[in-house]
Amino acid sequence: MLLGLVLAGGQSRRFGRDKAVEPWDGRPLIAHALAALAGCDQVAVAGRAWPGVLALPDRPAAGLGPLGGLNAGLHHAAAHGFSHVASLPVDSPGLPPDWLARLGAAPAHAMGQPLIGLWPATLAAGLDEFLAAGGRRVQQWVVAVGARAVDLGPLPNINSPADLPPQFKG
C-alpha cells in the first residue's frame, strides 16, 4: 500500500505569503500536489490542516523543515500497514503524470528535487535517528539512505513570487 504525502509545513519565508494557497492555473498549489497523489491508497498533508485530507503534524516536532513532515509520513505509513510513502512538496505543480512509475524502486527521488520521492516505510526509525543527531539537510539524508536520483525532466521550483509564470502571478 502507498501513502501519498504533501509536505506543506513550511513558513513560506522566501515566498512572503502562504505558498500552499497560491493560485496556479486556477487552483491553489496544494490542490495540484494532492491531484498528483491521486493514485495513492491514502493521501495526507504534513505540517498543516487541509479540508478533507488527513493532517499529520511534523515529527518529532514542528520547525524541523521538510524532514519533520517526511518523518511523520513514514511513521504513519509504518503504523498503518503502508509499505511506501510517495512525497512531494506543496510547490511542485507540473509533475509528469507517470512520475511515480518513473521513480521505480524505492528509495528514489527526482533529480534536483529530493522531496519528490518514493520511500520505504522502513526508513522511519533511521530518519528518527538522523533528526535526533541534528540532521536537517534533505540531501544528506537522501545520500545516507542510498536513494537514486531519477530524471523527471524540468520541474518548477517555486520559492518566490518571481518563480511563478507571468500568467499566474498574483
Tens-digit pLDDT profile for residues 100-156: 999 999 999 999 999 999 999 999 999 999 999 999 999 999 999 999 999 999 988
Per-residue pLDDT tens over the stretch 29-72: 999 999 999 999 999 999 999 999 999 999 999 988 899 999 99
Maximum Cα–Cα distance for the chain, whole Å?
Answer: 44
Domain interval for residue 97: 2-11+18-152
Question: Mean pLDDT: which of 8-17, 24-33, 116-125 is highest?
Answer: 116-125
Burial environment of residue 111 by CB neighbours within 10 A (0 to 12, 13 to 18, 19 or more): middle
Asked whether residue 97 is domain-assigned, the answer is: yes
Q: CA 13, 138, 42 angle in degrees (round to 5)?
A: 90
* pLDDT for 132: 96
Distance of alpha carbon 108 from alpha carbon 93, whole angstroms: 19
| Single-letter amino acid code for the residue at 118 | L
C-alpha distance across the termini of the chain, in Å: 38
Asked whether residue 169 is domain-assigned, the answer is: no
Higher pLDDT, 49 or 159: 49
Number of H-type helices and E-type strands within the chain: 5, 9
162 pLDDT band (50/70/90 cuts)? confident
Q: Which CATH number covers residue 43?
A: 3.90.550.10
Asked whether residue 148 is domain-assigned, the answer is: yes
